[in-house]
Amino acid sequence: MALKVTILKNDLTSEEAWKIVNPVCRELFELVNDGSVQFVSATYNEGIGTYKINLKSSHIHLASRGL
């Protein structure tokens, strides 16, 4: 008996991706406003419950808030 696994990947809008990234980076608004960070693409993998968010950045500092 063969088992077929389907992995569903959903593209996210830039607004959805920013809502996920925002709590991770304290300087996000400043970096976006001065053009240092730009959204490229994002996907959600339903099969394993992970997000992949691609950002273009000339400078970024990530600070964990215990997520």
Q: Tell me if 46 sits within 8 A of 9, measured CB to CB.
A: yes
Global pTM? Answer: 0.63
What local confidence, expressed as pLDDT, does residue 55 receive? 83
What local confidence, expressed as pLDDT, does residue 65 receive? 56
What local confidence, expressed as pLDDT, does residue 56 receive? 87
Cβ partners under 8 Å of residue 56, min gap 6: 37, 38, 39, 40
Give me the torsion for CA of 21, 63, 23, 11, rounded to 10°. Answer: 10
Taking the chain (67 residues) in runs of 10, the rounded mean pLDDT of each run is 68 88 74 84 89 81 56
